[in-house]
Chains A and B, each alone.
Chain A
């Protein structure tokens, strides 16, 4: 089966500013892909390129098996999206805004009521969009993205402006769309918590580059264990761990400390080996790396 999104060598320059640099991206069908990065990392520019709103300086984009440049209308008819901030025609009601989207995407008339119910907008259906709270505007934008039952959802910061209950509802809605209807979801976020709760895979973007793609379940299950060790003789400890235990993932994390990132490392065997070599072991702390620590590490800001 072809990927839902495949981008190769995607770059975007604004004059001398490199907004996106040589991004290779692959989103599998039916998965929720979290596109994680700090503000200004290049997430929105990448999303705009995926939707054809911004022309890449280099690279190719394939959406649902078709090249975006060759069959723009055909591809976008199968994609629901919202970019950057909730936006709607303020003088029109929620229902009228959705009917505009429905007509332009040739969705059936019943789809408007269906998404109003799905996004719990019934109470506000006849209220003008300009008078909605930020959270309800966000719901309206999500409803607009869903009105034509897309196969792929491209969402830029979908929980912006939502209250905690709203975030949980939207999270459940997106999970349900992926699990029950096989909708592929590509969502950008700078909120680790949001991605942590929802994404199957995570792409971490930093300074315009995709620095890592990780299977979040794998990250969660393996925990990417690291062990922090404080000893009186770092050089000797390093030699012992390399020679006796065969560790490769070993680095100095301070004047008297070492970090073991080798996946086979066990705290007990490290302690035995170091004490056996006559090294004074001051501290030995197994550290589980969650997404937050992982993100900070790969984006160069140690937590």
Chain B
């Protein structure tokens, strides 16, 4: 069996799936919210009059310049943490659904090397995430244009887009462990619990010296959510790559060797 055919069938399994639309809606909402915050900052008086902005929030927004760099910084920060959550949901669905829907036993008895399904599912998750990333880049451009923001340069656009793409790749690398939990526990719920736990972990280590070595905190640092002064060394990227490798090996090991007795 040619590998592209396996990937094509994995893509076909997503047809009419609600989760694809939910993920798209979530990303759309995320960018819309960033635009909404920008609008409130640009129109504090109006926002206050209609009850959207309290005095406390006004102070919190103080000092931000209302231009493309600020808006894209918002988007990248949201893309970091939001992307990690969404990516976890995507892989939990792609891998866990076979067990939750009872089709794993059909899939694993097919005359195809089982590791091909694992790689195909990772590729499908990557394609899905790539579409979402392109979507938020496009939507951010639209929202920024509607808000009439200033200061957009080609370099700024490329830099923000590249950051979003790298964040998507990092999120996928980390989410592979969530996929392993999905196949190991044969369903959706445990991996989603693990995804929430990893966020708590990212937050707990986010402001400590360990942060550049904790995969989920690394995403926070890279997105800028941990503060503008935080920097990453090459070691952090090795940690992310190692997380991906370990996760992939664990999934392949499970799918190839584990009993599928339930």
Contact = CB atoms under 8 A, between A and B. Distances in A.
Interface string A80-121: 011111011111100010011101111000000000000000
Contact of B101 (A72, A87, A96): A87
Interface of B: 1, 5-6, 8-9, 12-13, 15-18, 101-103, 105-106, 108-113, 257, 259-261
Contacts of B6: 104
7 contacts: A48-B260, A52-B108, A52-B109, A53-B261, A83-B105, A91-B16, A103-B5
Contacts of A99: 12
Interface in A215-270: none
B105 A105 contact: no
B13 A48 contact: no
Contacts of A74: 111
B112 A55 contact: no
B261 A45 contact: yes
Given A14-B261, A91-B15, A100-B9, 15 more contacts: A52-B109, A53-B105, A53-B260, A54-B261, A73-B113, A75-B111, A83-B105, A87-B101, A88-B101, A89-B101, A92-B16, A100-B12, A103-B5, A103-B9, A104-B110
A54 B101 contact: no
A146 to B, nearest CB: 13
Contact of A81 (B5, B17, B109): B109
Contacts, number: 78
Contact of B110 (A14, A88, A91, A105): A105
Interface residues of A, number: 35
Interface of A: 14, 45, 48, 51-55, 72-77, 81-85, 87-92, 96, 99-101, 103-106, 128, 144
B202 to A, nearest CB: 32
Contact of A89 (B5, B103, B257): B103
Contacts of A92: 12-13, 15-16
Contact of B111 (A55, A72, A89, A100): A72
B109 A106 contact: no
Contacts of A77: 111
B103 to A, nearest CB: 5
A87 B103 contact: yes
A81 B108 CA distance: 12
A163 to B, nearest CB: 22
Contact of A76 (B101, B110, B259): B110
B106 A90 contact: no
A155 B111 CA distance: 17
A44 B119 CA distance: 29
A51 B260 CA distance: 10
A88 B109 contact: no
B101 to A, nearest CB: 6
